[in-house]
């Protein structure tokens, strides 16, 4: 469960990205955050991943008030969620398998277990057989799928993605979105920030529309603002 409660975010440069945002996303939901660039989509994801902290208001993730998470607790918190970035954020000096294994290595999973789970994750994104390739030997779409495999390999209950299809042509973008949908179908809460309204219309999932740092339309599952 994710809940934003009157969240304001003002950056050091004075820009006010969020001006009183409230919404709620239930466990197992698939939700798209849309809006023009600068509407606050990325800020919301950064607040969820504790990359940023709210200036005012409260952010709850997995029933936990993030304000109570101290810097020392952030690594542990981040291991409970998977994050996908528009620019993939892969490490180019090591093969695909090592990139995907990173969250497991960090969590201290035994080697044999890691190999098994990395293969399973790569299988889920359709990249089995590319384990030993370097990320730059893959296409952009494939690189994005490596990023997704890395985000899901530790079996998080929450998956967030920031413009995951931003650099992809429509066919590839649809493939990636379908991938997210599949993870959602097995129970993972998925939150995707995207400006590609046309693409998400095909999914019929919930859309939270942002505008000028506020929620312009909280989307279908009403009651999100109830609290």
Partner 1 sequence: MNIQAYFARHAQTLLGSLGRIVNQPFATLMTMGVVAVALALPLLLSLFLSNMSAATGNWNNAFDLSVYMNKKASAARVATVAKQLRQRGDVATVRVITADQALAEFRDDSGFGKALDALTDNPLPDTLIVTPTLSASTPQGTDTLKQAIAAIADVQAVQLDTEWVKRLHAMLDILRRVVLLTAGLLGAGVVLIVGNTIRLDILNRRTEIEVMKLVGASDGFTRRPFLYSGVWYGLGGGLMALIMVALAAVILAKPVDTLAKLYGSQFRLRGLGFTTAVGVLALAVGLAWLGSWLAATRHIRGIEPT
Which residues lie near partner 1 (CB under 8 A)? 49, 51, 72, 75-79, 83, 89-91, 93, 102-103, 105-111, 150
Least spacing, CB of residue 143 vs partner 1, in Å: 13
Q: Is the dihedral of CA 62, 64, 70, 73 positive or negative?
A: negative
Beta-bridge partner residues of 217? 209
Nearer to partner 1, 77 or 203 (CB): 77
Nearer to partner 1, 151 or 205 (CB): 151
Nearer to partner 1, 107 or 128 (CB): 107
Instruction: Name the 3-class secondary structure at 199.
Output: helix
Residue 47, both tokens: 């607040």
Least spacing, CB of residue 111 vs partner 1, in Å: 6
Cβ within 8 Å of residue 188, ≥6 positions away:
28, 152, 156, 157, 158, 159
Least spacing, CB of residue 75 vs partner 1, in Å: 4
Nearer to partner 1, 45 or 224 (CB): 45
* Burial (CB count <10 Å: 0-12, 13-18, 19+), residue 43: buried
Least spacing, CB of residue 12 vs partner 1, in Å: 11
Least spacing, CB of residue 52 vs partner 1, in Å: 9
Nearer to partner 1, 91 or 186 (CB): 91
Output DSSP code: residue 3. E
Instruction: Name the 3-class secondary structure at 133.
Output: coil
Least spacing, CB of residue 119 vs partner 1, in Å: 19
Strands 2-10 and 16-25 turn out to be antiparallel
Say if CB 132 and CB 96 are below 8 A apart. Answer: yes
Nearer to partner 1, 79 or 214 (CB): 79
């Amino acid at each position: 469960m994710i809940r934003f409660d009157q969240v304001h975010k003002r950056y050091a440069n004075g820009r006010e990205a969020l001006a009183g945002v409230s919404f709620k996303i239930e466990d197992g939901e698939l939700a798209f955050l849309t809006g023009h660039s600068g509407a606050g989509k990325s800020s919301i994801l950064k607040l969820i991943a504790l990359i940023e902290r709210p200036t005012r208001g409260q952010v709850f993730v997995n029933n936990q008030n993030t304000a109570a998470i101290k810097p020392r607790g952030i690594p542990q918190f981040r291991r409970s969620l998977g994050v996908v970035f528009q620019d993939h954020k892969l490490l180019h000096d090591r093969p695909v398998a090592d990139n995907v294994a990173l969250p497991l290595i960090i969590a201290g999973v035994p080697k044999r277990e890691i190999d098994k789970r990395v293969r399973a994750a790569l299988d889920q994104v359709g990249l089995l057989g590319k384990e030993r390739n370097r990320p730059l030997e893959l296409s952009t779409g494939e690189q994005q799928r490596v990023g997704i495999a890395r985000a899901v390999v530790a079996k998080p209950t929450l998956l967030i993605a920031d413009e995951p299809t931003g650099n992809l042509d429509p066919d590839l973008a649809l493939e990636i979105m379908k991938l997210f949908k599949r993870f959602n179908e097995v129970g993972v809460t998925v939150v995707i920030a995207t400006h590609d309204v046309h693409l998400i219309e095909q999914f019929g999932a919930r859309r939270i529309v942002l505008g000028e740092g506020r929620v312009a339309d909280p989307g279908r599952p009403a009651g999100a603002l109830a609290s």
